[in-house]
Amino acid sequence: MSITPTAAGQVAPTPPHTGAAANRSVAEAGRRARRRRLIWLWVARFGFAVVVIGGWQLFTSLKIVDPFFYGQPSGIWKRTIDLFENGTEFGSFWTDIATTLKEAVFGFGLGAAAGIVLGVSLGQNRFLADVLGPYIKVVNAIPRIVLGSIFIVAFGIGVTPKVLLSAVLVFFVVFFNAFQGVREVDRNILANVRVLGASPLHVIRHVTVPSALTWIIASLHTAFGFAIVGALVGEVLGAQHGVGLVIKTAQGSLDPDGVFAGMLVISVITLVAEFLLTLLERRLLSWRPPSPAEAAAI
Amino acid sequence: MASRNESASRAPADHADRAASRIEVTGLGKRFLTPKGEVFTALRDVTFTVEPGRFCAVVGPTGCGKSTTLSMVSGLDRPSEGSVKVGGREVSGITGGISFMFQTDALLPWKTVAGNVELGPLFRGVGKRQARTLARDWLRRVGLAGFEDHHPHQLSGGMRKRVAMAAALINEPRILLMDEPFGALDVQTKAIMQTELLGLWEQLRPSVLFITHDLDEAVALADRVVVMTSGPGTVKAVYEVDLPRPRGAVQDLRYEPHFLETQHRIWESLREEVQRAYALTAGADA
């Protein structure tokens, strides 16, 4: 007997109905397994928070750890509510948050824009990159946070020095990623578009920038953290408003709960920014294949 | 009959006016400076001609400088000595009217299928809408109608090759350079793609310089097969393939006695080169 397509077709006589039903039950089982996993995941996450925060509360309540130095979760919560309700000695707490946020966002925008423009142009130009390379390394080696002192001296205790400090911190993170992203552009793709007749401007627009965008966007997540750090440090060095000032004041009055309260508020702000950046990332990088982890195996 | 033949074979009369698509490679050489500062000769005295509208395949062992030759024809790379002439004009820099197909994907992963195919016309200054219409038309011709808005990662390897083929042919190039374009495909897909390439080529008749290490592929597709030696790469022999055109399905062609006879004759020449190159790399590894 020879194997013909029809013969091969008859070898697998699965009636379509049982096949579909079996598929449905397999899918159902898969969904159940996924739901179970999700429930356990959240139970474990919640449990972890309870152990850490509860343990902190317990040890400080039993005076095994001194709440005077290390704060206490209940105290931090009370202090946070108090800050929002009664404000600080310098005015409303919302003003402080708005000030810090403004400094961080402006610094972030300025630093990211400068980093992208310089990173992309230096990544394009090998000679310029070789000339400036050592200097950039030197500047990168400087502890830039100290620049904050100079900015305060030069620009006073307003918003400007904080924006500048944020921008400097953000710039280097974004710059190095943009630079590297441009360097990593696929040689084949470059050769291909050049043969197709692309001008240098075409290459930048259609190839270099989209390709480097993966790197740039990844760096923006870290960069926003740095923007906040820049704003806070600037405020600690000298300011009239800002969460950094609230933290510094709390430190001065030996109030660890106040320091932690400032930290809590900043964390929430950073998480919100992170979420917005993830939305932006999804939108700009929608062409990327889903990572294997997202296509869950049953 | 296929025979070793250094002289030009005659192009069909209706393509005689397309002398602009003749590729003449004369005494081509390429040397590189290794990181240690030594001079490495990749190519030496490579001479062959691709007649207008003809299909020329270059076969040779790995590392014989096939790809280097191709990038010098495209103008992406400069020769150390000798010259490449396209349509009687010396190549210096990117030459117009050439398309390139690479072994690895050269599609832009962030653009849709149609976005990739329309790049050629866009770079030439064709309007956005007209370029899109052209791209749709070409995607239909390679059998990908309905996939315009997919991204490359959503397609199979064979489908991505079709996109690359549409992107390469949309500018109706007079010269098509192909660097092992089907090397990464499975055997069945490869045969289908070869047949489709022949079909599209017969409609447009650009001059083709096709690099491969697969002799079956070379004989099935080409009018002329250039066999190269390795270390340094140079031309060992040139064979004419006189299988009639249109050749039809590549899968069926493989069993024809005349195909086998031609393939066998060229293999006699290629075999010692492959063995020599293998012995060299094996020796270098030890």
Q: Is the pLDDT of residue B1 over 90?
A: no
**A296 within some domain:** no
Nearest to B76 among A195, A213, A287 (CB): A195
Residue ranges of domains in chain B, CATH in brackets = 13-97+178-285 (3.40.50.300), 108-172 (no CATH)
**A297 within some domain:** no
**A12 within some domain:** no
Pull the structure tokens for residue A203: 């290459």
Nearest to A197 among B96, B108, B109 (CB): B96
Mean pLDDT of B143-157: 90
Chain A residue closest in CA terms to B93:
A195
Same domain membership, residue A98 and residue A53:
no
Output DSSP code: residue A255.
-
Same domain membership, residue A125 and residue A25:
no
Nearest to B100 among A192, A199, A288 (CB): A192
Same domain membership, residue A148 and residue A48:
no
**pLDDT: is A219 or A286 the higher one?**
A219
Q: Cβ of B15 under 8 Å from any chain A Cβ? A: no
d(Cα B205, Cα B176) in Å, to the nearest integer?
A: 10
**A6 within some domain:** no
Same domain membership, residue A185 and residue A139:
yes
- Lowest pLDDT segment from A192-196, A257-261, A294-298, B76-80: A294-298
Same domain membership, residue A114 and residue A40:
no
Nearest to A196 among B154, B171, B177 (CB): B171
Write out chain B residues lying below 8 Å of A285, CB-based: 110
Percent of chain B predicted with pLDDT > 90: 35
Question: What per-residue confidence (pLDDT) applies to A291?
Answer: 62
pLDDT band at A17 (very low <50, low <70, confident <90, very high): low
Q: Give the distance from residue A196's alpha carbon to the nearest chain B alpha carbon, in angstroms.
A: 5
Q: Give the distance from residue A290's alpha carbon to the nearest chain B alpha carbon, in angstroms.
A: 10
List the one residue out of B55, B6, B31 whose CA is nearest residue B233. B31
d(Cα B67, Cα B83) in Å, to the nearest integer?
A: 16
Write out chain A residues lying below 8 Å of B110, CB-based: 210-211, 213, 285, 287
**A66 within some domain:** no
Structure confidence by residue, pLDDT tens digits, A162-215: 999 999 999 999 999 999 889 888 888 988 898 888 888 999 999 998 889 888
**A10 within some domain:** no
Question: What per-residue confidence (pLDDT) applies to B135?
Answer: 93
CB A233 within 8 A of CB A100: no
Same domain membership, residue A28 and residue A108:
no
Domain count, chain A: 2
Write out chain A residues lying below 8 Å of B98, CB-based: 195
Chain B residue closest in CA terms to A188:
B106
Question: Given an 8 Å threshold on Cβ–Cβ distance, is B119 in contact with A193?
Answer: yes
Structure confidence by residue, pLDDT tens digits, A224-267: 999 999 999 999 998 889 899 999 999 998 889 999 999 999 99
**A294 within some domain:** no
Question: Given an 8 Å threshold on Cβ–Cβ distance, is B76 in contact with A194?
Answer: yes
Chain B residue closest in CA terms to A289:
B153
- Lowest pLDDT segment from A37-41, A51-55, B31-35: B31-35
- Full residue range of the structural domain in which residue A274 is found: 75-284
Same domain membership, residue A126 and residue A216:
yes
Q: Is the pLDDT of residue A8 over 80?
A: no
**A13 within some domain:** no
**pLDDT: is B194 or B279 the higher one?**
B194
CATH of the domain at A276: 1.10.3720.10
Q: Cβ of B98 under 8 Å from any chain A Cβ? A: yes
Write out chain A residues lying below 8 Å of B107, CB-based: 189
Mean pLDDT of B143-172: 90
Residue A91, amino acid: G
Question: What per-residue confidence (pLDDT) applies to A13?
Answer: 47
Read out DSSP for chain B? ---B--SPPPPPGGGTT-GGG-EEEEEEEEEEE-TTS-EEEEEEEEEEEE-TT-EEEEE--TTSSHHHHHHHHHTSS--SEEEEEETTEE--SPPTTEEEE-SS--S-TTS-HHHHHTHHHHHTT--HHHHHHHHHHHHHHTT-TT-TT--GGGS-HHHHHHHHHHHHHTT--SEEEEESTTTTS-HHHHHHHHHHHHHHHHHH--EEEEEES-HHHHHHH-SEEEEEETTTBEEEEEEE----SS---HHHHTT-HHHHHHHHHHHHHHHHHHHHHHHHHHHHH-
d(Cα A282, Cα A130) in Å, to the nearest integer?
A: 34
Same domain membership, residue A130 and residue A40:
no
Please say whether the dihedral angle defined by the alpha carbons of residues A128, A132, A134 and A140, taken in this order, is positive or negative: negative
Q: Is the pTM of this model over 0.95?
A: no
Percent of chain A predicted with pLDDT > 70: 91
Q: Among A61, A86, A115, where does a domain finish? A: A61
Question: What per-residue confidence (pLDDT) applies to B283?
Answer: 60
Mean pLDDT of chain B: 85
Nearest to B102 among A188, A206, A211 (CB): A188
Question: What per-residue confidence (pLDDT) applies to B223?
Answer: 92
Same domain membership, residue A211 and residue A132:
yes
Read out DSSP for A48-98? HHHHHHHHHHHHHHTTSS-HHHH--HHHHHHHHHHHHHH-BTTB-HHHHHH
Same domain membership, residue A139 and residue A38:
no
Structure confidence by residue, pLDDT tens digits, B241-267: 888 888 888 888 888 888 999 999 999
Question: What per-residue confidence (pLDDT) applies to A232?
Answer: 93
Mean pLDDT: which of A195-209, A282-296, B87-101 is highest?
A195-209
Question: What per-residue confidence (pLDDT) applies to A298?
Answer: 40
Chain A residue closest in CA terms to B95:
A195
Nearest to A189 among B96, B106, B123 (CB): B106
Write out chain B residues lying below 8 Å of A287, CB-based: 109-111, 151, 153
Q: Is the pLDDT of residue B269 over 70?
A: yes
Mean pLDDT of chain A: 86
Same domain membership, residue A267 and residue A164:
yes
Residues 76-95 of B with CB under 8 A from A: 76, 94
Structure confidence by residue, pLDDT tens digits, B7-47: 333 334 344 446 788 899 999 999 988 888 888 888 889 99
ipTM of the complex as predicted: 0.80
Question: What per-residue confidence (pLDDT) applies to B273?
Answer: 83
Same domain membership, residue A80 and residue A50:
no
Question: What per-residue confidence (pLDDT) applies to A292?
Answer: 53
